[in-house]
């Protein structure tokens, strides 16, 4: 057996023993092996991709200590709680501890009692801390949320710049591992340069998550949709992101009046209010969180069943980061983006408001346009997203996104497309979407008349449709590559080579076009469930009972419920109804240590249930 195989086998054993998972995800395997071979490694993985295991398993196999640089106190605590629950010795040092507690933990590290130590980056700048660390044997430094080192990112944090000097101050250079969910070329370059990674192995992985059904819904009554959706999924935790505090407050009030247990989170609230709200969500006391994008970093809640975007975010990076907070436990979950044309105006306003140089501005506009293209594409949304981020994937459509499940018939749009392209040509490619739509509609709008566009042969060529519908069609054509929108605040439509082929009659355009009236969107976004343990097979009563047991344990242990077992694990239990320790250890997410700590009440429950399984009603 090769060394690599042996290493992998050992790593897999540890994964089963401590985490109860039989296999690594594809990307995890490559990252773990790279670190164990001693390479500096950069892992670019979305939220929920399973980053922590990538450095925690090597930490168990490498001699000495793994130091984890982590930006948020809540994140550290959560990770250490989870590790402790799994039987792995870990601790954190941060400003919430007393001097005495800090010293105890450093002593524990010196005794070799800790495999992982979590610290905030600021700590690395403190002289005495550096001295203490120099006296330890540190084999790996893992930098979480590594994009914080870059000013290109959205969370620049100066103290991340002290990681590299800190590492160099150690008597022996440890392996450096860096992780982030943000993967633009600028940020990647900065991470390599500013963290001084040496010939790093870079892995982009895990963006494709089979359990997430992505949807974009255009032309909804957004408020109605949100209330209806939350009411129909009252038992499921969900996050609703809105762009402004005002919208957050408004949605929050509406949800409350509809009797839905909700909380809210935005920068206008006091620290205490926000902490209380976040806590209530983590502990499942409220099901729905309405928030601005201030909410999320450090939220490790794994059973979020849906993330709804009330507004389109500024770019795909932001969108995927936020939407990716759904379904971290691998269970089927929904990511729904409610798109309205107003969102584009809002985002442009924000770009204009933000003082910055012209390069950055152009960059922001380009990214905004790519986000808009995503909202209009009729291609598989998962493929569109992977293409955007440059992750390799099979050409197969996902089958569960709103494009894949769109069962409207494809219609031949060639004639409409020709009218649009020819109109743009006649307007000399100098105008934007709404002006072209107005001309095609045959509007008496002052500007249309002023330019004499009512003399064009295409004037009124699509008068049977509304201007809004025409705009929609133009936007779809743009996202499909027939047209390009120039960069900047007032983008102008330009014809692309594909459009020329259509005009010459060499290519026809088949499209699912915007329906005139929206069908039941909540139903559509429900998606199909493509999973081993389908809703119907799971006995909901049993699942609810297991949740109660978990809640009680969580209360006793003072940890959030999912630290005990996540929803996916409880669901699997509710299907297989384990009767023995062996059965229980075969359930994904049940490791040996966790079984010893928490397994008994669950096993007792199934023993009491006896042969009654699958019959329902255990009251
Ligand atoms: P990240 O830090 O990348 O956001 P986490 O490390 O918190 O993600 O992992 C996300 C979820 O996926 C967690 O619930 C974790 O237990 C689960 N997970 C991670 N790796 C595996 C695996 N190999 N098999 C099954 N579940 C996994
Ligand atoms: Zn799809």
Nearest in space to 473 (alpha carbons), one of 418, 521, 530 = 418
Superfamily of structural domain 535-618: HRDC domain (1.10.150.80)
How far does residue 517's CA lie from ligand 2's centre (Å)?
A: 23
* Terminal Cα-to-Cα distance of the chain (whole angstroms): 54
Q: What is the pLDDT of residues 180-190, one digit of tens each?
A: 987 677 888 99
Spatial separation of the C-alpha atoms in residues 97 and 105, rounded to whole Å? 10
Helix (H) or strand (E) holding 179: strand 175-180
Residue 532 pLDDT > 60: no
Spatial separation of the C-alpha atoms in residues 340 and 471, rounded to whole Å? 12
Spatial separation of the C-alpha atoms in residues 485 and 375, rounded to whole Å? 15
How far does residue 17's CA lie from ligand 1's centre (Å)?
A: 15
Spatial separation of the C-alpha atoms in residues 41 and 443, rounded to whole Å? 58
- What pLDDT score does 503 carry? 92
In three-state secondary structure terms, 406 is coil
Shortest-distance ligand to the CA of residue 214: 2
How far does residue 50's CA lie from ligand 1's centre (Å)?
A: 4
Q: Does this chain's domain 3-204 share its CATH topology with 212-388?
A: yes
* Residue 52 Cβ < 6 Å to ligand 1: yes
Query: Given the structure tokens 């008496």, which residue do they identify?
Result: 444
Cβ contact 380:395 at 8 Å? no
Shortest-distance ligand to the CA of residue 400: 2
CATH number 1.10.3720.10 given to 410-516: no
Q: What is the pLDDT of residues 225-278, one digit of tens each?
A: 999 999 999 889 999 999 999 999 999 999 999 999 999 999 999 999 999 999
Atom number of ligand 1 nearest to Cα 47: 4
Shortest-distance ligand to the CA of residue 396: 2
Domain extents for the chain?
3-204, 212-388, 410-516, 535-618
Shortest-distance ligand to the CA of residue 397: 2
Spatial separation of the C-alpha atoms in residues 175 and 195, rounded to whole Å? 12
83 CB contacts (<8 Å, ≥6 apart)? 56, 89, 90, 116
* Residue 50 Cβ < 6 Å to ligand 1: yes
* Residue 21 Cβ < 6 Å to ligand 1: yes
Nearest in space to 37 (alpha carbons), one of 1, 2, 89 = 2
Spatial separation of the C-alpha atoms in residues 528 and 124, rounded to whole Å? 48
CATH number 3.40.1010.10 given to 212-388: no
Burial of 19: CB neighbours in 10 Å, binned 0-12, 13-18, 19+? buried
More confident residue, 575 or 18: 18
Spatial separation of the C-alpha atoms in residues 386 and 327, rounded to whole Å? 18
* Residue 109 Cβ < 6 Å to ligand 1: no
How far does residue 333's CA lie from ligand 1's centre (Å)?
A: 15
How far does residue 255's CA lie from ligand 1's centre (Å)?
A: 31
Residue 207 pLDDT > 90: no
- What pLDDT score does 33 carry? 96
Shortest-distance ligand to the CA of residue 210: 2
Q: What is the pLDDT of residues 368-418, one digit of tens each?
A: 989 999 998 888 999 999 888 777 777 788 889 998 888 777 788 899 999
- What pLDDT score does 410 carry? 75
* Residue 24 Cβ < 6 Å to ligand 1: yes
Q: What is the DSSP string of 483-509?
A: EEEPSSSS--EEE-HHHHHHHTTS---
Task: Please give the sequence-ordered ranges of beta strands (E in DSSP) within 393-457, or none if there are none.
Answer: 411-412
* Residue 51 Cβ < 6 Å to ligand 1: yes
In sign, the C-alpha dihedral spanning 319, 41, 189, 196 is positive
* Residue 45 Cβ < 6 Å to ligand 1: yes
Spatial separation of the C-alpha atoms in residues 348 and 325, rounded to whole Å? 26
* Residue 498 Cβ < 6 Å to ligand 1: no
How far does residue 52's CA lie from ligand 1's centre (Å)?
A: 7
- What pLDDT score does 508 carry? 87
Atom number of ligand 1 nearest to Cα 46: 3
- What pLDDT score does 185 carry? 75
Instruction: Give the number of other CB atoms < 10 A from CB of residue 322.
Output: 21
- What pLDDT score does 517 carry? 35
Cβ contact 42:191 at 8 Å? yes
**Fold classified for 3-204:** Rossmann fold (3.40.50)
Atom number of ligand 1 nearest to Cα 49: 3
* Residue 205 Cβ < 6 Å to ligand 1: no
Spatial separation of the C-alpha atoms in residues 366 and 347, rounded to whole Å? 12
Q: What is the pLDDT of residues 445-489, one digit of tens each?
A: 999 999 999 999 999 999 999 998 899 899 888 878 899 888 777
Q: Tell me which DSSP letter residue 64 carries.
A: S
How far does residue 329's CA lie from ligand 1's centre (Å)?
A: 7
Work out the pLDDT band at 76, boundaries 50, 70, 90.
very high
| Pick from 5-19, 76-90, 212-226, 349-363: least confident | 349-363
How far does residue 48's CA lie from ligand 2's centre (Å)?
A: 20
* Residue 328 Cβ < 6 Å to ligand 1: yes
* Residue 48 Cβ < 6 Å to ligand 1: yes
How far does residue 319's CA lie from ligand 2's centre (Å)?
A: 17
Work out the pLDDT band at 298, boundaries 50, 70, 90.
low
């Amino acid at each position: 057996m090769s060394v690599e195989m042996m290493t992998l086998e050992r790593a897999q054993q540890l994964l089963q023993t401590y985490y109860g998972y039989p296999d690594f995800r594809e990307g995890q395997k490559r990252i773990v092996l790279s670190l164990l071979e001693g390479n500096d490694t950069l892992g670019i993985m979305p939220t929920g991709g399973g980053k922590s295991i990538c450095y925690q398993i090597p930490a168990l196999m490498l001699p000495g200590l793994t130091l984890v640089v982590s930006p948020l106190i809540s994140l550290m605590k959560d990770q250490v709680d989870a590790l402790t629950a799994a039987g792995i010795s870990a601790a954190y040092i941060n400003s919430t501890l007393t001097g005495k507690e800090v010293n105890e933990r450093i002593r524990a590290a010196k005794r070799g009692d800790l495999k992982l130590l979590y610290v905030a980056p600021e700590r690395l700048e403190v002289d005495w801390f550096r001295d203490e660390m120099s006296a330890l044997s540190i084999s790996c430094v893992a930098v979480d949320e590594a994009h914080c080192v870059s000013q290109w990112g959205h969370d620049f944090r100066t103290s991340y710049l002290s990681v590299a000097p800190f590492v160099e101050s150690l008597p022996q250079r440890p392996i450096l591992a860096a992780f982030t969910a943000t993967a633009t070329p600028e940020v990647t370059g900065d991470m390599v340069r500013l963290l001084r990674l040496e010939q790093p192995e870079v892995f982009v992985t895990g963006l494709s998550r089979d359990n997430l059904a992505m949807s974009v819904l255009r032309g909804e009554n957004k408020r109605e949709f949100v209330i209806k959706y939350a009411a129909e999924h009252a038992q499921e935790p969900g996050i609703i992101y809105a762009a402004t505090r005002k919208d957050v407050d408004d949605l929050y009030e509406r949800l409350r009046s509809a009797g839905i247990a909700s909380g809210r989170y935005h920068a206008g609230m006091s620290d205490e209010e926000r902490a209380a709200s976040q806590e209530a969500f983590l502990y499942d006391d409220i099901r729905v969180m309405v928030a601005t994008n201030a909410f999320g970093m450090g939220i490790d809640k794994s059973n979020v069943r849906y993330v709804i975007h009330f507004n389109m975010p500024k770019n795909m990076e932001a969108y995927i980061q936020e939407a990716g907070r759904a379904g971290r436990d691998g269970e089927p979950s929904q990511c729904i983006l409610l798109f309205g044309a107003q969102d584009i105006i809002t985002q442009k306003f924000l770009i204009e408001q933000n003082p910055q140089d012209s390069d950055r501005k152009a960059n922001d506009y380009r990214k905004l346009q790519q986000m808009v293209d995503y909202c209009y594409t009729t291609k598989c949304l998962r493929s569109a997203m992977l293409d955007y981020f440059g992750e390799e994937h099979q050409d197969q459509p996902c089958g569960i996104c709103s494009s894949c499940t769109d069962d409207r018939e494809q219609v031949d749009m060639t004639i409409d497309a020709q009218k649009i392209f020819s109109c743009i040509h006649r307007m000399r490619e100098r105008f934007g979407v709404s002006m072209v739509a107005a001309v095609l509609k045959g509007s008496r709008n002052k500007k249309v008349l002023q330019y004499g566009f009512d003399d064009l042969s295409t004037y009124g060529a699509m008068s049977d449709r509304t201007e809004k519908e025409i705009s929609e069609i133009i936007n779809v054509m743009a996202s499909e590559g027939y047209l390009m929108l120039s960069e900047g605040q007032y983008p102008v439509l330009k014809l692309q080579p594909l459009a020329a082929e259509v005009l010459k009659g060499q290519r026809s355009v088949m499209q699912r076009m915007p329906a005139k009236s929206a069908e039941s969107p909540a139903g559509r976004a429900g998606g199909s469930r493509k999973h081993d343990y389908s809703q119907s097979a799971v006995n909901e009563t049993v699942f609810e009972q297991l949740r109660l047991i978990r809640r009680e344990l969580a209360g006793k242990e003072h940890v959030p419920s999912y630290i005990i077992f996540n929803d996916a694990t409880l669901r699997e239990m509710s299907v297989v109804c384990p009767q023995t320790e062996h059965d229980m250890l075969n359930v994904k997410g049940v490791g040996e240590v966790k079984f010893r700590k928490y397994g008994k009440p669950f096993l007792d429950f199934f023993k009491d249930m006896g042969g009654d399984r699958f019959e329902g009603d255990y009251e």
